[in-house]
Amino acid sequence: MPPCEPLDRSLLKIHPLSKRPNKVRIQKDAVAPDTSPRPLGAVAQGVVEECADKIRAARAVGRPVMLAFGAHTIKNGLAPVLIRLIERGWVSLLATNGAGIIHDWEFAFQGESSEDVRENVANGCFGIWQETGFFLNLALVVGAFEGLGYGEAVGRMIEREGLDIPEEKWLLNLIASHLNEEPEQSAAALDLLATIRRGRIAPGFLAAPHPFKHYSVQAAAYRLSIPFTAHPMFGHDIIYTHPLNHGAAIGRAALRDFLSFAGQISHLDGGVYLSIGSAVMSPMVFEKSLSMAQNLALQQGRKITRHHIVVVDLAESAWDWMRDGEPPIDNPAYYLRYCKTFSRMGGTMRYACADNRDFLLTLLHYLDPNMSP
């Protein structure tokens, strides 16, 4: 048996991002908000019309409208649609996984994203790209030190087109002065110090031009002070292949985002939650957040019951979750994880089998009817 020793990422040959062919070019593939959506099926059409009504009612009384989405929403060029939704005040929080963060950043940085996984794994270069690994990991370490969330840290770097790197001496003084009363702050400073040294990064403002940042949802959310939360899983994303990757910093930033997400869930009574093309992240994060929020609500003599959940994915579902409840364990519909999870979350749940592009465009046009061509 070979020894179970950790892989040494410092030995990897890191490739320049500019050498990577990409499948998606944002200037060509971005979806303008006034694009006409393809017709939805009858069920999905009913879901989107009801959803628009629920969103209007929720925002009229200051209730949250949360939109969680998988990475393909960004890869499919829907950033301009998401940006329009937050600009118009229809959505109060955006949430995605680690891959959604990466695609959004790569589009902002170079206008392209989405590599050939099969070919690049065979060539030993899948995900092992200098700029993606360097800038995203550094943004997260800096952001964690400054108390930012995952999406906020990246969004700020894109919007400001760079990062502030502190002096080592200043960090050492802070570590010593905070060690007794604020040990977590000292720990975050130590993480940043170690990263600066590992990357041999000079102090001062580290410029990072993002010529396509107007396509970035994270940058728009940061600019508009709208929470953009990220919910990564260790080892799932290509930034983990880079030597600058720091697990503790990712944990700090992602935990802040999870608690920010849960904070809006605690006000979801009378609000709307949309889960678009997220089979695992969205339902898993939602159920833990709602459980905590319900715990606190019950202590205060209230209960979260009037939330409206809309789940959108491409998988067909013949089961009527609202009418028939949860299917038996021998029914294939039982294993449609997101429907099963959200059907257990109280309130009302609607499922629409639809392309995320067409659903979101149709929803935006119902909310802002003057935008339709």
Domain count, the chain: 1
8 Å CB contact between 238 and 160: no
Does any domain span residue 277? yes
pLDDT at 1 over 90: no
Tens-digit pLDDT profile for residues 258-310: 999 999 999 999 999 999 999 899 999 999 999 999 999 999 999 999 999 99
pLDDT at 323 over 80: no
For residue 304, give every residue at least 6 positions away whose Cβ sits within 8 Å of its Cβ, in sequence order, or none. Answer: 265, 266, 268, 269, 290, 293, 294, 297, 346, 347
Tens-digit pLDDT profile for residues 203-239: 999 999 999 999 999 999 999 999 999 999 999 999 9
For residue 365, give every residue at least 6 positions away whose Cβ sits within 8 Å of its Cβ, in sequence order, or none. Answer: 37, 371, 372
For residue 58, give every residue at least 6 positions away whose Cβ sits within 8 Å of its Cβ, in sequence order, or none. Answer: 64, 65, 270, 271, 272, 308
Lowest mean pLDDT, pick from 28-42, 102-116, 328-342: 328-342
Does any domain span residue 278? yes
**Domain assignment of residue 348, given as a range:** 14-97+226-371
- Counting every residue, how long is the chain? 373
What per-residue confidence (pLDDT) applies to 340? 85
CA torsion sign for 147, 257, 158, 206 is positive
Specify the DSSP element, H or E, that contains 205.
strand 204-207
Does any domain span residue 151? no
Strands 204-207 and 162-165, by their bridges, are: antiparallel
Does any domain span residue 131? no
DSSP class of 7: P
Does any domain span residue 92? yes
Does any domain span residue 124? no
Does any domain span residue 194? no
d(CA 257, CA 148): 8
Check which CATH number belongs to the domain holding 359 and give it. 3.40.50.1220
pTM of the model: 0.94
Burial class (CB in 10 A: 0-12, 13-18, 19+), 249: buried
Does any domain span residue 117? no
Query: Which among 6, 5, 1 is positioned nearest to 245, based on CA atoms?
Result: 6
